[in-house]
Amino acid sequence: MLVYLHSMARPVFHLHPKARQELSDLGMRISYARKRRSLTRKALAGRAGISEYTLRRVESGEIGVTIGAYVAVLYALGLAGDLAAVAEADPLGRDLQDAALAPRPRRSGGGSSNASAKAKAPQTPPPSPDTAASEPPTPEDNDALPGISSTEMLAFLRRQKK
């Protein structure tokens, strides 16, 4: 018999409601997959190398269960091939990475880089109060603007923060 003299409080996880729902849905799909294969919880837990209690928590979509338990169950069910698609296509992340890796312009001798950046930036008038509160721009509106790559936009935004 194991007796603990003190207990540690479990961490409290705060998860966005949509993320919580997706986790719950994943647990439900895992439960359905187990039942379609006519596996008991005991059999699947044994194959996955986890306890029945942990499997019950996985099937309930509880957030405190380690991702390793979810992956072990998916492998035991033969469904782990789908994990390769998770976060595979990450266009925003790739754009940010490309921007961070882009060669930075070298500063020329005693001049401030802000002055040269202002000279290169397209001069557009500020929006009038009438148009500022109007509808958001459509893709057709963007055709009228000079082409700005995501790298240039990211560099511009970084300069604005300073």
For residue range 2-22, what is the model confidence (pLDDT) as tens digits? 444 555 666 666 889 999 999
All structural domains of the chain: 17-85 (1.10.260.40), 91-161 (no CATH)
For residue range 76-127, what is the model confidence (pLDDT) as tens digits? 999 988 777 777 778 888 888 888 887 777 776 655 555 555 555 556 555 5
Q: What is the mean pLDDT of residues 119-137?
A: 55
pLDDT at site 93: 85
Q: What is the mean pLDDT of residues 136-159?
A: 61
What's this model's pTM, rounded to 2 decimal places?
0.53
Alpha-carbon distance of 155 to 161, in angstroms, equals 10
